């Protein structure tokens, strides 16, 4: 087992360098660099640009920039953001925490809701409840996240104009005067703002997840060993939860590693639409400004988490499924 883990980690090394270099290369391939926009400013002299460029190391060839960046990275220094004039981690971390306010609860809801719903759908196949859930799942799958957010905003604002009651805030993470709130009220305020984004993000994920869960469960329930278990007189509860469920969740355990990078990579376009100060708007801006180390640094964190997550899920698999063994 130890040998297996070590070998896996060894295999991760080329992937790590490959992916970081690919990310680095893609950002660098875009025409111009961070200072190109500054060049258009008549107040900035070419000498200043040249000085800044050599200070940022942007005048060096790509491989030298990559080596320097990687050197810093191996010393746990993610680099320096051009646009914010601050270390990348200092800028990224608060934004990631903001995003987590949405992502962590929605991931929890995902598992708490989708798995029971999937099991129910499989056990009562083609019942009224199953049909309703399936239909809702189709809707959830088909509706783009940003569009769902827009619809929620529209409905809430309509209610607001009719009755003057703001059911949930539709934009941002905090109310005005947030700074003066006491800590308890601050938490409540953020939670109140997070309700709609969490619902929007969770909807589409639950839809897909519960359908896959239902399919898995149906597949396992049609296996011979389930018939055997029923034939030998086991309680239905034991058959379903001990024999079927444990086998049905195996594919999910194989993918559980994806959650780890998912936790930091934000809620996507919902953050843009609802003006949530999460990681997505920041990164989109950084990409547009070609803030090289910001983007590369963030992608690297995600990459490392993905690799660790994949390794963990492979190890978890051996625990859930004793048939899988690594020599």
Query: Two tokens at 157?
Result: 């604002």
Residue 269 within binding range of another protein, rule CB under 8 A: yes
Segment interacting with another protein (CB under 8 A) among 63-71, 79-87, 177-185, 193-201: 63-71
Segment interacting with another protein (CB under 8 A) among 12-20, 77-85, 109-117, 246-254: 12-20
Contact yes or no for 182/86 (Cβ under 8 A):
no
Which residue, 141, 123, 125, 304, is CA-closest to 207?
141
**Rg (Cα) of the chain, in Å, rounded?**
25
Q: In whole angstroms, how close is the CB of 147 to another protein at the nearest point?
A: 4
Residue 197 within binding range of another protein, rule CB under 8 A: no
Residue 64 within binding range of another protein, rule CB under 8 A: yes
Q: Terminus-to-terminus CA distance in the chain, angstroms?
A: 7
Q: What is the DSSP letter of 51?
A: H
Residue 223 within binding range of another protein, rule CB under 8 A: no
Residue 170 within binding range of another protein, rule CB under 8 A: yes
Under DSSP, is residue 86 helix (H, G, I), strand (E, B) or coil?
strand
Residue 169 within binding range of another protein, rule CB under 8 A: no
From residue 120 to residue 159, the character string flagging contacts with another protein as x (rule: CB under 8 A) and all else as - is ------------------xx-xxxx-xx--xx-xx--xx-
Could you give the CA distance from residue 199 to residue 209 in angstroms, rounded to a whole number? Answer: 15
Residue 76 within binding range of another protein, rule CB under 8 A: no
Residue 247 within binding range of another protein, rule CB under 8 A: no
126: left (phi over 0), alpha (psi -120 to 50) or beta: left
Residue 37 within binding range of another protein, rule CB under 8 A: no
Which residue carries 């996507």 as its tokens?
268
Segment interacting with another protein (CB under 8 A) among 16-24, 78-86, 229-237, 240-248: 16-24
Strands 80-81 and 86-87: antiparallel
250 C-beta neighbours (distance < 10 Å), count: 15
Q: What is the largest CA-CA distance in the chain?
A: 86
Residue 73 within binding range of another protein, rule CB under 8 A: no
If binding means CB under 8 A, how many residues of this protein chain bind another protein?
54
Q: What is the DSSP letter of 15?
A: H
Contacts with another protein, residue ranges (CB under 8 A):
14-15, 18-19, 22-23, 26-27, 29-31, 63-64, 67-68, 71, 74, 138-139, 141-144, 146-147, 150-151, 153-154, 157-158, 161, 170-171, 219, 222, 261, 265, 268-269, 272-273, 280, 283-284, 287-288, 290, 295, 299, 302-303, 306-307
């Amino acid at each position: 087992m130890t040998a297996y883990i070590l070998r896996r980690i060894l295999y991760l090394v080329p992937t790590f360098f490959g992916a970081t270099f690919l990310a680095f290369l893609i950002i660098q391939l875009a025409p111009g660099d961070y200072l190109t926009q500054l060049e258009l400013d008549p107040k900035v002299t070419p000498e200043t640009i040249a000085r800044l460029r050599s200070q940022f190391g942007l005048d060096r060839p790509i491989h030298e920039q990559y080596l320097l960046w990687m050197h810093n990275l191996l010393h746990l220094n993610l680099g320096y953001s051009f646009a914010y004039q601050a270390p990348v981690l200092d800028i990224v971390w608060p934004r990631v925490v903001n995003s987590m306010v949405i992502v962590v609860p929605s991931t929890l809801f995902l598992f708490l809701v989708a798995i029971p719903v999937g099991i129910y759908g499989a056990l009562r196949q083609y019942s009224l409840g199953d049909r309703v859930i399936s239909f809702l799942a189709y809707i959830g799958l088909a509706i783009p996240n940003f569009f769902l957010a827009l619809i929620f905003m529209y409905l809430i604002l309509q209610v607001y104009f009719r009755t003057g009651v703001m059911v949930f805030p539709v934009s941002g993470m905090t109310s005005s005067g947030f700074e003066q709130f006491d800590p308890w009220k601050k938490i409540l305020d953020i939670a109140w703002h997070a309700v709609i984004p969490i619902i929007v993000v969770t909807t589409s994920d639950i839809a897909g997840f519960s359908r896959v869960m239902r399919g898995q469960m149906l597949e396992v329930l049609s296996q011979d060993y389930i018939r055997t278990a029923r034939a030998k007189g086991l309680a239905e509860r034991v058959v379903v939860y001990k024999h079927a469920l444990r086998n049905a969740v195996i594919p999910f355990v194989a993918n559980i590693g994806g959650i780890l990078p998912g936790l930091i990579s934000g809620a996507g376009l919902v953050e843009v639409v609802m003006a949530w100060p999460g990681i997505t708007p920041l990164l989109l801006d950084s990409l547009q400004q070609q803030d090289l180390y910001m983007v590369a640094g963030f992608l690297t964190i995600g990459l490392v988490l993905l690799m660790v997550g994949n390794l963990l899920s492979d190890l978890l698999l051996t625990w859930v499924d004793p048939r899988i063994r690594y020599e």
